[in-house]
């Protein structure tokens, strides 16, 4: 009976558990609960809180908790229970396996090395005594058991949370708050936010547990680069260590870590190295000796160092609970960083101990901890925080090494709060489909527990992944916050190319997708760091009120992007039935849709930033094109945020960043995208902005503009939108059907797991960016916004002495009041000014925002923006008498827009450049300094200067230089100023120039010396008119290229090329010096022109372009890849045939190889071999002296350098010329330096080269040296030698050099006696005499090492006009009187330019006193056929005129000279002398 009473008594007691006492802490809605006041005072310090005092300090608030936990003490265990409303869902509990929603589960927080864990494991590597509850209403509530000891989290009863842990400990509740996101933000204020990661750490990481040597590491990194698969980090496991001793390197396998790091960084890869806590017990090992000296080890109960066995064998373990030990470890890390370490991996830090049943050290071990952590305690108290404290020590050591870089630490073990110091991953998972599925939930649970920086070992750590498993895992894992592929030592290396081409392609697409989303991911991390929000969240965060979303496990949210993946083996993306959350969700991809990749959806109302597809994160440049992907919500609005900074360091904490809030709004079928607000001191990069508006079904509209400006998109009609969506959906379906899926391969090895069935699900993320609402002022009856009335300062009775004084005063007052004053209208009283009939002189001034934007043609066809808002503010100033003594009157004193307190940075008035600064800008512009670098220089003088002021100043300078001249006139002026020789050719019957050719004087000298080989190519990429630019390139004796001449051509016709080449021929002094070899592409017009102008020259074709064309054709016609490789090898053999017999044999072999591909064989023969084999096949081209120039790569390099010097490929012709001129000057300087090196540098200091050193180029000596090395195998046998270099380079070949080895004291060479000899010991030990290589054996091309005219004409090539003068005189005698006058006039222009009528374009004449802004007329493109250039002065009356070497910078105008007008062409020549002083008055609004 008594027993029964006791049982009933126990039942009653369970229902009347006492509630815990509470006090509010931290902020409203956060409460601390304790069993009693005594327990509150006895509680251990908090390690989870970033500031332990916050947990112990109450705050004042009137709020009380809505849910009070109860407690019970049983067998020294404190049991805390919190009951929630039915229908609540439970999450969190940290790093746990199994299902996402935790109801029915039980977890024990005890850090455990759980290799190969499964869904049933109750303890893993980290401990988070935390539960996040989502109530039926969608509100969130969190509860934290603030204890470091082993804790049971029992969620087996529905809507009930129970903690069981040794007493006593407090629990802290957070909320309820409106959403789970708010709960996590509140939690972060207690436990801290994630460290701000360096941007490179968001790239892809590659690891394997057994990279056995530095060469293997380099091989992996180079393979990523070779295969164009993005990768940023390579990881080093314990194999780099010397005998598994931490902080050491294996001297055999990793001989030079610094060199390895340097090589990896040159490939764009960072390096992360592992450090375990186990220190090998070995005297003489510096880490052990140092630790023993400072007594840093964890102790047994008897106060001796605890020894446990891990990888190195017997080890001791640092006691990180002591500040002195953490400092000791941090200094070791600091020294370790000096080896080029970019990040550190803390492993085995649960801590794991081998060969013991518990897999860790005894609970009785002693930690002599700091009092603020809990003081001296046994191991059971500190076990769960050991990994956190190790990560903290490592993090602090990395900061000691460099305050300028953000540390990156990855830890396997951790505790709630460890995100402050380290990222983490889900531990040693398995290569199974079950673990692929679980990896999503595990990463999300860590994010819901305060650790947003986590990921899983892609492909699984233990066991061999199959191709489909690895590819599918890469697809989803590439979008985890932390992205790393990793595998165990005994398994297949889990790299993308290890599983076949299909899997490799999927991995490439997945990682390129991640790198395009890096701007979004980095922005999410910024908010995680500053606000405590997760990076990746479960799908139900899109709608916490929807219970159907709370158990979805194969999707998640990355910001507003929903990632929907297939984690079932037999089910690809094309077979998924995707159900989306409520609202608008629009599918998108990057033209990379694939059945084995996740589907992506963007939430309506969102804008996300998208970057370029890069190989490495640090390849990105702030000026790179930026894409904004946007989806409008039901109200036609969208918003998004982009965070940008240096990507490393802590400048962002001091405001050195840019946080841009973009908004989009739909009104009247026009979507407007603009910057709503910005934060930070970073200046917006000058970059193009690409807007992509999602319409649905993957369809989108796009437009381009400049970032920071307002961009607009016009929505088509509904029918057109439906058509676009239908077309896009069909294309998407076709892509999925045509994509090559990863083949199913039978699973290899590794532990097997039963594949679970699970539901398909969708996900979304709440938009973490809340745009600030627009602030509007109240409108009055007139519709004018009433802001401050700035009219009072303008109400003055002052009389100003002059117009300028009045304007200066008015502008300064306006500036002080936060706006800019501009002149709207100005009139000067004159007797002839009929418009000003009142006879007053006055000026009307207004706000710069007055008036409205007047579109030019169709505004909606392109993006426009304006600050005009029809502001009514106006002032009127009038002159009292004779334009003197001015007064000012306010006409309207109100603005319809807000005024700034000051004119801030970026305003058109703020930061206006001074005269000294403008002069500096002009000087730097002349020296081709980029605008951004000019801005950095000016920032030291004027901190308000913006990039806009730089561009304005540069444009003003260029406009002033150009003056009233047309663009072509300005180009000719520039050519004359720099003494260029140039010709131009006009179109028949017109003054429009069709072709222009120019050459630098020094280039002409170089051409006279180095005319052996000329390379010809043209490009369209360097001017806005897309005119062909023909570039003629020569090669010097030092094998440097120089631009001989340039020509802008009307078109690529034979006539145009012939004209340009004739001008080139005219630059060559003697007919005997015509270039023996000219290399071109297969352009029939250019080849025909070469044949016509240089009939004796050999026209070779660029072998590189031929190979490129053949390869492209082969890829289309020849399959599979093995056959493709075989065919291309045969083709290369044909091209490289050394003689004609070998050519016929190799051609026959090529025919056999191509027998299955007759179309390809016919293409090669008909297009290349039959008509052109003599121009590119080795056996024929080696019969001419081409100096090794058989491709146009040198010209392509010249084009590349030119394009680098150009600021814009759409620049005008004069800007292009500036770049060409600078490039030519650089070329000539480099050539002069190379000549000096060849003359003064002694590289071949042996008697054999005695006569050559200093007299021939180093390039020639290098070729001769290579031939000299062949003497031993060739001797004097010319059949073995081939003598190719004598023919192709004009240099002695091996057999010729061998002839100089004859032991003669006196040798004759071409009839000349040389008395040079020297002795050497041959291999048999006998003295042998040699003669040096004579200078005459070297072709003259290699002996020219000077720009000097005298040296160039060393062979008597004196330039003379006598032949031309004789021909002209003969022609003159044969002409009639009119012809003689005409010819004499042409010669007079050339011979006596100062006495001729040649002059610059006439200045434009103002027709009245009103100021005219004609800038838009100057900048307007010419209204003519784009292939024709602008008109030039008709004073160049000759159809083909030439100007060279003017005597001064500006043309000198003779007092008797006259201006010849275009209309004069219609007046007889005889009347021209009587028409002096005429000017051409253009018709405009003020005259007829």
List, by residue number, the catalytic residues.
347, 350, 428
How far is residue 515 CA from its own chain's centroid? 10
Q: What are the phi and psi torsion angles at 1149 (to 5°)?
A: -65, -40
Task: Name beta bridge partners: 1230.
Answer: none
What is d(CA 829, CA 838) in angstroms, rounded to the nearest whole number?
Answer: 8
What is d(CA 1118, CA 1110) in angstroms, rounded to the nearest whole number?
Answer: 11
Determine contact, residues 1291/1338, Cβ cutoff 8 Å. yes
Q: E strand or H helix at 981, and its extent?
A: strand 981-986
Question: Coil, helix or strand for 403?
Answer: coil
Task: Name beta bridge partners: 233.
Answer: 205, 270
What is the greatest pairwise CA distance in the chain? 150
What is d(CA 1133, CA 1126) in angstroms, rounded to the nearest whole number?
Answer: 11
What is d(CA 602, CA 903) in angstroms, rounded to the nearest whole number?
Answer: 39
Determine contact, residues 1291/1342, Cβ cutoff 8 Å. yes
Is beta strand 423-425 parallel, antiparallel or unpaired with respect to 454-455? Answer: parallel
Work out the number of other CB atoms within 10 angstroms of the CB of residue 1241.
11
Q: What are the phi and psi torsion angles at 838 (to 5°)?
A: -85, -5
Is beta strand 658-667 parallel, antiparallel or unpaired with respect to 637-644? Answer: antiparallel
- Give the residue among 222, 224, 236, 232 at the shortest CA–CA distance from 201: 232
Work out the number of other CB atoms within 10 angstroms of the CB of residue 355.
8
Residue 1331 CB contacts under 8 Å (≥ 6 apart), including other chains: 1300, 1302, 1304, 1307, 1314, 1316, 1317
- Give the residue among 757, 755, 745, 631 at the shortest CA–CA distance from 698: 631
What is d(CA 1384, CA 1377) in angstroms, rounded to the nearest whole number?
Answer: 11
- Give the residue among 817, 821, 839, 822 at the shortest CA–CA distance from 830: 839
Q: Strands (DSSP E) along 841-980, which ranges?
A: 842-847, 874-881, 884-892
Cis status, amide bond into 889, omega within 30 of 0: no
Residue 929 CB contacts under 8 Å (≥ 6 apart), including other chains: none
Q: What are the phi and psi torsion angles at 423 (to 5°)?
A: -85, 175
Determine contact, residues 241/249, Cβ cutoff 8 Å. yes
- The structure tokens listed for 914 are 């001074």
What is d(CA 46, CA 482) in angstroms, rounded to the nearest whole number?
Answer: 28
Q: What are the phi and psi torsion angles at 951 (to 5°)?
A: -65, -40
Q: Give the CA dihedral 110, 116, 121, 126, nearest 10 degrees.
A: 30
Question: Coil, helix or strand for 669?
Answer: coil
What is d(CA 153, CA 102) in angstroms, rounded to the nearest whole number?
Answer: 10
- Give the residue among 409, 364, 371 at the shortest CA–CA distance from 390: 409
What is d(CA 301, CA 367) in angstroms, rounded to the nearest whole number?
Answer: 10
Residue 1425 CB contacts under 8 Å (≥ 6 apart), including other chains: none
What is d(CA 1443, CA 1451) in angstroms, rounded to the nearest whole number?
Answer: 12
How many residues make up the chain in this entry?
1488
What is the sign, positive or negative, of the torsion defined by CA atoms of 1446, 1448, 1451, 1455?
negative
Alpha helix (H) residue ranges in 63-122: none
């Amino acid at each position: 009976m008594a027993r029964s009473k006791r049982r009933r008594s126990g039942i009653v007691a369970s229902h009347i558990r006492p509630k815990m006492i509470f006090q509010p802490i931290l902020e409203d809605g956060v409460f601390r609960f304790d069993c009693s006041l005594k327990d509150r005072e006895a509680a251990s310090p908090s390690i989870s809180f970033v500031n332990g005092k916050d947990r112990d300090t109450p705050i004042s608030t009137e709020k009380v908790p809505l849910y009070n936990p109860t407690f019970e003490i049983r067998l020294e265990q404190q049991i805390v229970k919190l009951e929630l409303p039915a229908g609540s869902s439970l999450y969190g509990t940290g790093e746990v396996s199994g299902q996402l929603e935790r109801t029915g589960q039980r977890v024990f927080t005890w850090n455990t090395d759980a290799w190969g864990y499964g869904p049933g494991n109750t303890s893993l590597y980290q401990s988070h005594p935390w539960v996040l509850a989502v109530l039926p209403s969608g509100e969130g509530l969190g509860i934290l058991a603030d204890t470091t000891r082993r804790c049971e989290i029992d969620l087996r009863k529905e809507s009930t949370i129970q903690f069981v842990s040794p007493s006593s400990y407090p629990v802290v509740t957070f909320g309820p708050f409106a959403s789970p996101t708010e709960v996590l933000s509140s939690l972060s204020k207690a436990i801290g936010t994630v460290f701000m990661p360096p941007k490179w750490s968001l790239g892809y990481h590659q690891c394997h547990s057994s990279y056995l040597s530095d060469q293997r590491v380099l091989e992996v990194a180079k393979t990523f680069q070779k295969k164009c698969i993005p990768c940023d980090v390579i990881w080093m496991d314990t194999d780099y260590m010397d005998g598994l001793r931490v902080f050491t390197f294996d001297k055999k396998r990793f001989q030079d870590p610094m060199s390895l790091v340097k090589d990896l960084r040159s490939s764009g890869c960072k390096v992360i190295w592992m450090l375990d806590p186990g220190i090998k017990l070995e005297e003489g090992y510096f880490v052990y000796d140092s630790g023993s000296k400072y007594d840093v080890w964890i102790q047994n109960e008897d106060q001796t160092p605890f020894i446990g066995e891990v990888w190195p064998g017997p080890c001791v373990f640092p006691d990180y609970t002591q500040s002195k030990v953490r400092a000791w470890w941090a200094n070791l890390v600091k020294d370790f960083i000096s080896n080029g370490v970019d990040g550190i991996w803390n492993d085995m830090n649960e801590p794991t101990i081998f060969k013991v049943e518990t897999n860790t050290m005894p609970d009785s071990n002693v930690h002599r901890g700091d009092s603020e952590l809990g003081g001296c305690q046994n191991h059971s108290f500190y076990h769960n925080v050991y990994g956190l404290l190790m990560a903290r020590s490592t993090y602090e050591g990395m900061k000691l090494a460099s305050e300028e870089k953000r540390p990156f630490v990855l830890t396997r073990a951790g505790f709630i709060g460890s995100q402050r110091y380290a990222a983490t991953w889900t531990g040693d998972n398995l290569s199974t489909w079950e673990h692929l599925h679980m990896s999503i939930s595990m990463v999300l649970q860590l994010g819901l527990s305060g650790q947003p920086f986590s990921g899983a070992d892609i492909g699984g750590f233990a066991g061999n992944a199959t191709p489909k498993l690895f590819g599918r895992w890469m697809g989803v894992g590439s979008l985890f916050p932390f992205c790393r592929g990793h595998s165990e030592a005994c398994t297949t290396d889990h790299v993308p190319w290890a599983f076949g081409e299909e899997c490799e392609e999927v991995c490439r697409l997945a990682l390129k997708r991640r790198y395009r989303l890096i701007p979004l991911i980095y922005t999410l991390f910024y908010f995680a760091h500053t606000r405590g929000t997760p990076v990746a969240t479960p799908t139900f965060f899109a709608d916490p009120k929807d219970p159907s979303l709370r158990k979805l496990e194969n999707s998640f949210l990355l910001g507003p992007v929903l990632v929907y993946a297939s984690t079932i083996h037999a089910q690809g993306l094309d077979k998924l039935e995707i159900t989306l959350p409520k609202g608008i969700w629009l599918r998108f991809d990057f033209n990379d849709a694939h059945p084995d990749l996740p589907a992506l959806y963007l939430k309506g109302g969102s804008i996300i930033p998208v970057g370029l597809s890069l190989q490495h994160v640090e390849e990105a440049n702030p000026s790179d094109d930026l894409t904004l992907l946007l989806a409008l919500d039901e109200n036609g609005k969208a918003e998004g945020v982009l965070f940008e900074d240096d990507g490393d360091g802590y400048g962002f904490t001091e405001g050195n960043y840019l946080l841009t809030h973009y908004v989009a709004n739909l009104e009247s079928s026009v979507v407007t995208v603009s910057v709503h607000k910005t934060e930070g001191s970073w200046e917006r990069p000058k970059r193009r902005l690409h807007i992509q508006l999602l319409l649905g079904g993957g369809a989108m509209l796009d437009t381009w503009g400049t970032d920071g400006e307002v961009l607009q998109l016009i929505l088509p009609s509904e029918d057109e939108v439906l058509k676009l969506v239908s077309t896009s959906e069909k294309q998407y379906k076709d892509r999925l059907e045509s994509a090559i899926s990863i083949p199913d391969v039978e699973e290899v090895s590794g532990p097997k797991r039963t594949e679970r069935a699970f539901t398909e699900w969708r996900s979304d993320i709440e938009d973490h960016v809340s745009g600030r609402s627009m602030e509007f002022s109240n409108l009055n009856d007139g519709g004018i916004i009433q802001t401050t009335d700035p009219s009072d300062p303008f109400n003055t009775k002052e009389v100003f002495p002059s117009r300028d004084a009045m304007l200066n005063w008015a502008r300064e007052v306006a500036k002080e009041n936060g706006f800019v004053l501009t002149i709207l209208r100005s009139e000067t009283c004159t007797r002839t000014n009929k418009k000003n009939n009142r006879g007053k002189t006055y000026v009307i001034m207004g706000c710069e925002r007055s008036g409205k934007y007047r579109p030019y043609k169709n505004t909606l066809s392109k993006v426009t923006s304006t600050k005009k808002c029809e502001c009514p503010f106006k002032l009127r100033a009038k002159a009292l008498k004779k334009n003197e003594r001015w007064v000012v009157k306010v006409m309207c004193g109100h603005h319809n827009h807000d005024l700034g307190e000051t004119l801030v940075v970026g305003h058109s008035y703020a930061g206006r450049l001074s005269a000294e600064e403008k002069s500096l800008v002009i000087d730097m512009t002349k020296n081709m300094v980029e605008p951004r670098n000019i801005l950095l220089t000016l920032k030291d003088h004027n901190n308000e200067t913006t990039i806009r002021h730089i561009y304005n100043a540069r444009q003003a300078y260029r406009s002033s230089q150009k003056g009233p001249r047309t663009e072509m006139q300005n180009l000719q002026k520039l050519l004359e100023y720099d003494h260029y020789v140039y010709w131009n050719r006009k179109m028949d019957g017109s003054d429009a120039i069709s072709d222009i050719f120019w050459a630098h004087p020094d280039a002409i000298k170089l051409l006279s010396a180095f005319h052996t080989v000329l390379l010809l190519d043209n490009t369209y990429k360097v001017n806005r008119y897309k005119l062909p630019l023909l570039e003629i390139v020569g090669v010097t004796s030092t094998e440097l290229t120089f631009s001989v001449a340039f020509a802008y051509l009307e078109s690529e016709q034979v006539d145009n090329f012939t004209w340009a080449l004739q001008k080139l021929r005219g630059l060559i002094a003697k007919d005997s010096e015509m270039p023996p070899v000219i290399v071109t592409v297969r352009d029939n017009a250019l080849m025909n022109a070469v044949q016509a102008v240089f009939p004796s020259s050999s026209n070779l074709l660029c072998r590189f372009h031929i190979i490129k064309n053949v390869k492209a054709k082969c890829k289309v016609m020849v399959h599979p890849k093995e056959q493709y490789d075989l065919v291309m090898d045969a083709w290369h053999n044909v091209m490289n045939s050394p003689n004609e017999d070998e050519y016929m044999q190799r051609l026959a072999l090529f025919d056999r190889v191509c027998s299955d591909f007759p179309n390809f064989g016919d293409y090669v023969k008909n297009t290349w071999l039959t008509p052109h084999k003599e121009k590119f096949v080795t056996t024929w081209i080696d019969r001419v002296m081409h100096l090794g120039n058989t491709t146009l790569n040198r010209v392509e390099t010249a084009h590349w350098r030119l394009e680098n010097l150009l600021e814009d490929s759409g620049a005008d012709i004069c800007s292009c010329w500036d770049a060409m001129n600078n490039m030519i000057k650089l070329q000539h300087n480099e050539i002069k330096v190379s000549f000096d090196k060849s003359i003064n540098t002694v590289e071949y200091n042996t008697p054999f080269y005695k006569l050559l050193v200093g007299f021939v180029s180093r390039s020639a000596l290098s070729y001769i040296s290579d031939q000299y090395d062949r003497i031993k195998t060739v001797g004097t046998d010319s059949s073995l030698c081939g003598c190719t270099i004598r023919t192709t380079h004009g240099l002695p070949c091996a057999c010729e050099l061998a002839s100089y080895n004859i032991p003669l004291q006196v040798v004759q060479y071409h009839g000349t006696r040389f008395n040079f000899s020297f002795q050497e010991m041959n291999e048999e030990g006998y003295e042998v005499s040699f003669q040096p290589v004579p200078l005459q054996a070297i072709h003259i091309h290699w002996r020219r090492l000077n720009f000097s005219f005298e040296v160039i004409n060393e062979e008597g090539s004196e330039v003379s006009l006598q032949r031309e003068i004789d021909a002209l005189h003969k022609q003159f005698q044969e002409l009639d009187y009119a012809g003689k006058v005409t010819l004499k006039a042409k010669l007079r222009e050339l011979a006596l330019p100062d006495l001729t009528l040649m002059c610059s374009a006439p200045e434009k004449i103002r027709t009245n006193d009103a100021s005219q802004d004609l800038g838009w007329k100057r900048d307007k493109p010419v209204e003519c056929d784009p292939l024709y250039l602008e008109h030039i002065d008709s004073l160049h009356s000759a159809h083909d005129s030439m100007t060279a070497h003017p005597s001064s910078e500006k043309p000198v105008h003779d007092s008797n000279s006259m201006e010849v007008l275009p209309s004069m062409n219609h007046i007889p020549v005889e009347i021209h002398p009587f028409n002096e002083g005429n000017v051409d008055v253009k018709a405009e609004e003020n005259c007829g």
